[in-house]
């Protein structure tokens, strides 16, 4: 039927005409729109306030408020994303409240979306850590609420990675809502009705990495602002405003299923008020729904929305666009590209990654102990590991790992990480003694004494103090390798001694007490008065550690040693007389006599030379801030060292450049280092790259970068970055700005010369921003210190003057070799073995009592199979994840018999990626994926997979049999659970924990703020990031609570800019006053009925607030 029999006035009449044009609406309810109003509150785990401030000051009241409101009205719904906050609230709630929560879930009123511990960032968070935080959330929801998440939203991360649909699909999620898409891309999607689309994360995984996505038309706050309960408008005005907005939204979509996000950051503190106002305008529209072409408008959940959306897509046989790119970079205007946060707070980014690797060690060692089947689980250790998982998960939040929170908030997280770091070493120390002790007792049967003195335990310290050894004492050094491959590599031990004589008489032994002759000792005083009192050295050697296992080395001082060790102090040059050349088995690296930076690389087999140069530069910050990078003028930096130091020994050749050498606080260091080994014909992986290390502080209003210029590549238009799983192709837009061509990378970036079959790869040690500059320059941003804010939310500048110590690893190889090896090389660089030390007096007896080596595997895994994680949970479940790094030989390489590699692995059950039951593929989802189209004109031209390892096949997800024979396809992650003990076994030993280790630590998960420097001074304050580092780790911070107060200089600039425009400002003010008065008069002219209703609602709100 046609619309008739009612009168339409003013704005409503115009709106109705607009709506009637959409999709030939004929006025019948069957053809109308279904609108889901989705109440939500976006609660950051740290941003403008700290984690605890947010929870105690706001979040716990928000949750209590909306839970109570849902209890009182079954038609109301709520969507909640942040499991970390909800868990904290739930576990402090009464039993009756917990039962109420379960009832609301069963009623379909409370919906958990995504289900992660936090809403993770997608540019800076690593693959392992995203999986970790999602697992923490999913397992908690299942264990405590019997809830399995089906749909996701990532409404606040600043751009979207292709890894998201890949991982989320593997976690059983069937749909995703996103928001922050670059303004011009979103405009294109609206115009072409592509706001609902299919997103394919990986060309290799194809449909297994694809999911249905719906993009918000605009931000997730109340819009139009008329609908915000904080603003005073009548119900009619609110309804009219929504209909006007609704008429625009439906023009951007092919479907008649519409969602409206009702909420904002930290809203629903007063849930009755928020619901009352939205219900008012919804009821108004519902009474007139035929006028507006609306079939239904109601509160709903993300699950409600996607179920209806999928039903409509199938019934109408709608064809959705398939997108295989990612959504980087995010932009809010032509000069507002959110690419600065790719690098913001680099020291914090590095600490989060280091903590992740340390937790991997802890988890692996504990799991090996449990597999040994001699011990029951220890509740204290299990709880502490869970606490560390929680902390790592929290750090993945999109305002923490990005560095876009207030300085004091980030420092709060930094201190939490420091505390938990020490806690992890304490756990490892206890586990070492339990696991390695051949007597299989409580670990205290040491030949030195039988009490719980800390010297009975393996301890962590950043350096080995050999002066503390008495006569005939040794340090036992236990190295642990968490990777599934045997490791043979160069390794450095940091040695401390006030005696040069002791260093000269130092001896290193292998586990069979054979002295290792092939060592090199470098001083790290850098021939500088700033470090004269340091008395520290680097001991280089070549080590071997079995897969997922331990190996033992010994250090002692032999006063009778005849052939004294040579100590390399470095030959000091004020200026280099000529270019410096270092050679490995395969390449010769040439460094310029002008500045010591890379000049060329020559292949020693072909004798061909590639001109590859390095340089450091920095941008003068223009409008940059925590989020935004706006490229200013480039200027040279670190180009003329004060002096050089040349180290050339049997294992390492190193050229050090020292800058600002007379200023100890501002001194900068750059090292060029290669590793070599004449004793082996086959190069070790450490010989496959040039290592460039750097140490400098942040310089105000500068954004420092390094360039690698590849002269042999001509007219290159693409650079390749790593999304954590695979490389992505970044096509350079020559018409775009520098900042619009910036992209994030997690582990490496490279250029290719296809004609010469060469790949030039730079491996990075943390997430960074990169771009391709003219003349084939790889640009990597290393540090940024900004005195201004970009006014995107933080409202304080990013004044990060922290010293940053870092390493870059340059590799030159054939394209084929790198395609096969680049990911494994990245993992070996990232996951170097860890060591703990223990003093011993009777080495013979010690060798009888303690294992000298051990491997948790029967043999190394194949090169393309990565042991992604091995974890033990408190419910006696052990989780295993394996990743196929990618290969072209599908038939022969992807079948794996776990019994050939793993010990004591029985009755494995394949699970989803978060260790929940595999979610069977939904027929409706498959049908939607089958009916797709390709938009060749789509706005995004960058970010597709670099390789497709095999043509798509229908994988069998449950393809392991009784013999643990599995098939794991290229780029696929397989997850398994196994019961280690069916129940607590009284015949097994109880783990005894020595709580006196690092006895200054408060052994719990509470964060200790007071007197922090005193608590950790012995261990944590002597942490050096790298072997070359001479400054202990420190994160600069300042108190940026409250509103930002500009400096006097900034005030003068602002005043100078304001005075010329005073007259214009006065005029604008007058116009604003007139507009406001008109609005007030308009409100006063509303109907008496609506006016009375508004006053009544306002009075009710004030009464509730007073109560």
Q: Give the β-pairing of 487-496 and 567-568.
A: unpaired
* R_g of the chain, CA atoms, integer Å: 31
Handedness of CA 625, 631, 634, 640 (dihedral sign): positive
What secondary structure does DSSP assign to 1043-1104, as a single string? Answer: S----HHHHHHHHHHHGGGHHHHHHHHHHHHHHHHHHHHHHHTS-HHHHHHHHHHHHHHHHH
Whether 940 contacts 200, CB under 8 Å? no
Are 721 and 728 a contacting pair, CB within 8 Å?
yes
Q: What's the Cα-to-Cα distance from 1045 to each of 791, 804, 1040, rounded to whole Å?
A: 14, 27, 9
Active-site residue, selected from the candidate residues 111, 128, 156, 304: 156
| Interatomic CA distance for residues 909 and 1011, integer angstroms | 48
Q: What SS3 state is found at 465?
A: strand
Cβ–Cβ under 8 Å, residues 668 and 618: no
CB 860 within 8 A of CB 483: no
Paired with 836 in beta bridges are 478
Tally: H helices and E strands in the chain: 24, 50
For residue 289, CA distances in Å to 2, 16, 260, 876, 1060 come to 14, 11, 16, 55, 52
| DSSP secondary structure code for residue 787 in this structure | S
Q: Is the dihedral of CA 845, 849, 850, 854 positive or negative?
A: positive
Residue 534, φ and ψ in degrees, nearest 5: -75, -45
Alpha-carbon gap, residue 477 to 472, rounded angstroms: 16
Q: Hunting for tokens 């020490």 — which residue is that?
A: 422
Given its phi and psi angles, is residue 385 left (phi above 0), alpha (psi -120 to 50 degrees) or beta? alpha
Cα(546)–Cα(541) distance, integer angstroms: 17
Specify whether 324 is catalytic: no
CA pair distance 766, 809, nearest whole angstrom? 12
CA 451 to chain centre: 43
Sequence-distant (6+) residues with CB within 8 A of 244 are 11, 15, 224
**Beta strand 196-200 pairing with 320-323:** parallel
Quick one: angle between helices 127-145 and 95-106, nearest 10? 100
β-partners of residue 261 are: 38
**Beta-strand runs (E) in 682-776:** 690-697, 702-710, 718-722, 727-731, 743-745, 748-753, 758-764, 768-773
CA distance 219 to 303: 20
Beta strands in 352-412, from DSSP E residues, in sequence order: none
Active site residues: 156
């Amino acid at each position: 039927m046609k619309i008739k029999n009612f009168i339409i006035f003013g704005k409503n009449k115009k709106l109705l005409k607009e709506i009637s044009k959409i999709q030939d609406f004929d006025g019948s309810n069957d053809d109308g729109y279904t609108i889901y109003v989705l109440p939500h509150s976006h609660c950051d785990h740290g941003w403008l306030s700290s984690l605890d401030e947010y929870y105690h000051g706001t979040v716990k009241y928000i949750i209590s408020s909306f839970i109570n409101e849902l209890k009182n009205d079954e038609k109301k719904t709520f969507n909640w994303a942040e499991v970390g906050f909800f868990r904290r609230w739930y576990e402090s709630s009464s039993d009756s409240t917990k039962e109420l929560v379960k009832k609301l879930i069963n009623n379909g009123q409370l919906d958990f979306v995504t289900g992660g511990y936090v809403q993770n960032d997608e540019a800076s968070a690593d693959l392992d850590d995203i999986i970790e935080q999602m697992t923490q959330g999913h397992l908690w929801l299942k264990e405590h609420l019997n809830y399995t998440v089906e749909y996701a939203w990532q409404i606040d991360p600043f751009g979207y990675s292709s890894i998201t649909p890949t991982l989320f699909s593997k976690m059983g999620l069937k749909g995703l809502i996103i928001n922050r898409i670059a303004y011009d891309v979103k405009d294109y999607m609206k115009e072409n009705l592509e706001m609902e689309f299919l997103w394919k994360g990986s060309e290799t995984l194809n449909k297994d990495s694809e999911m249905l996505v719906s993009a918000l038309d605009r931000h997730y706050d109340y819009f139009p602002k008329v609908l915000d309960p904080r603003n005073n408008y009548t119900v009619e005005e609110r309804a009219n405003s929504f209909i006007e907005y609704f008429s625009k939204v439906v023009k951007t979509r092919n479907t008649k299923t519409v969602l409206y996000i009702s909420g904002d950051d930290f809203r629903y503190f007063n849930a009755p008020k928020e619901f009352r106002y939205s219900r008012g305008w919804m009821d108004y529209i519902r009474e007139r729904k035929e006028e507006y072409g609306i079939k239904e408008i109601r509160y709903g959940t993300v699950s409600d929305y996607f179920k209806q959306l999928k039903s409509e897509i199938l019934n109408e046989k709608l064809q959705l666009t398939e997108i295989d790119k990612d959504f980087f970079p995010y932009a809010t205007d032509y000069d507002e590209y959110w690419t600065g946060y790719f690098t913001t707070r680099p020291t914090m980014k590095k600490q989060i990654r280091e903590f992740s690797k340390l937790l991997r060690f802890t988890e692996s060692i504990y799991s090996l102990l449990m597999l040994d089947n001699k011990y029951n689980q220890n509740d204290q250790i299990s709880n502490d590991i869970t606490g560390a998982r929680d902390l790592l998960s929290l750090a993945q939040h999109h305002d923490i790992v990005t560095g876009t929170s207030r300085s004091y908030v980030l420092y709060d997280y930094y201190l939490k990480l420091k505390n938990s770091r020490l806690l992890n070493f304490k756990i490892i120390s206890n586990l070492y003694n339990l696991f390695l002790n051949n007597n299989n007792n409580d670990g205290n049967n040491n030949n030195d004494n039988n009490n719980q003195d800390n010297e009975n335990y393996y301890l962590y310290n950043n350096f080995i103090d050999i002066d503390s050894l008495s006569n005939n004492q040794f340090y036992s050094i236990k190295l642990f390798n968490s990777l599934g491959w045997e490791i043979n590599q160069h390794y450095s031990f940091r040695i401390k001694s006030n005696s040069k004589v002791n260093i000269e008489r130092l001896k290193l032994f292998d586990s069979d007490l054979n002295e290792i002759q092939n060592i090199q000792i470098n001083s790290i005083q850098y021939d500088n008065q700033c470090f004269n009192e340091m008395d520290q050295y680097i001991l280089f050697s070549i080590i071997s550690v079995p897969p997922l296992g331990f190996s033992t080395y010994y250090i002692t001082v032999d006063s009778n040693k005849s052939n004294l060790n040579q100590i390399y102090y470095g030959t000091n040059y004020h200026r280099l007389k000529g270019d410096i050349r270092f050679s490995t088995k395969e390449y010769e690296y040439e460094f310029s006599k002008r500045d010591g930076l890379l000049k060329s690389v020559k292949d020693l087999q072909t004798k061909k030379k590639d001109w590859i140069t390095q340089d450091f530069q920095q941008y003068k910050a223009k409008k940059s801030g925590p989020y935004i990078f706006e490229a200013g003028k480039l200027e040279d930096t670190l180009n003329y060292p004060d002096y050089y130091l040349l180290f050339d020994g049997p294992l390492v050749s190193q050229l050090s450049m020292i800058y600002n050498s007379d200023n100890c606080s501002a001194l900068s260091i750059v090292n060029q280092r290669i590793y070599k080994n004449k004793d082996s014909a086959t190069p070790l992986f450490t010989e496959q790259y040039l290592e460039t290390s750097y140490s400098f502080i942040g310089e105000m209003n500068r954004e420092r970068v390094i360039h690698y210029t590849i002269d042999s590549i001509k007219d290159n238009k693409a650079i390749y970055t790593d999304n954590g799983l695979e490389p992505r192709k970044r096509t350079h837009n020559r018409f775009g700005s520098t900042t619009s061509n910036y992209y994030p990378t997690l582990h490496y970036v490279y250029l290719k010369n296809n004609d010469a079959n060469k790949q030039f790869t730079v491996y990075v040690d943390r997430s960074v921003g990169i771009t391709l500059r003219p003349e084939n320059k790889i640009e990597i941003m290393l540090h940024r210190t900004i005195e201004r804010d970009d006014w995107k939310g933080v409202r304080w500048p990013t004044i990060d003057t922290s010293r940053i110590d870092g390493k870059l690893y340059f590799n030159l190889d054939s394209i084929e070799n790198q395609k096969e090896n680049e990911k494994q090389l990245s993992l070996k660089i990232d996951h170097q073995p860890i060591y703990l030390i223990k003093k011993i007096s009777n080495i013979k007896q010690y060798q009888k009592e303690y294992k000298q080596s051990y491997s948790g595997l029967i043999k190394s895994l194949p090169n393309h199979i990565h042991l992604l994680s091995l974890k033990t949970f408190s419910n006696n479940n052990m989780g295993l994840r394996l990743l196929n790094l990618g290969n072209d030989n599908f038939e022969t390489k992807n079948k794996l018999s776990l019994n050939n590699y793993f010990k004591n692995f029985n009755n494995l059950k394949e699970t989803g990626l978060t260790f929940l039951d595999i979610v069977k593929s939904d027929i409706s989802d498959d049908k939607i994926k089958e009916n797709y189209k390709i938009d060749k004109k789509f706005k995004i031209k960058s970010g597709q997979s670099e390789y497709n390892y095999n043509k798509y096949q229908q994988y069998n997800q449950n393809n392991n049999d009784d013999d643990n024979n599995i098939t794991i396809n290229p780029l696929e992650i397989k997850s398994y659970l196994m019961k280690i003990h069916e129940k607590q076994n009284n015949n097994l030993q109880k783990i005894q924990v020595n709580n006196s280790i690092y006895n200054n630590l408060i052994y719990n998960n509470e964060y200790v703020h007071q007197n922090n420097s005193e608590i950790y001074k012995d261990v944590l304050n002597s942490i050096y990031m790298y072997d070359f580092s001479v400054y202990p780790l420190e994160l600069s911070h300042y108190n940026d609570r409250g509103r930002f107060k500009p400096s006097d200089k900034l005030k003068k600039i602002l005043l100078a800019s304001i005075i010329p425009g005073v007259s214009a400002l006065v005029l604008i003010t007058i116009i604003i006053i007139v507009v406001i008065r008109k609005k007030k008069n308009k409100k006063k002219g509303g109907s008496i009925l609506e006016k009375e209703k508004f006053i009544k609602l306002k009075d009710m709100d004030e009464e509730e607030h007073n109560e």
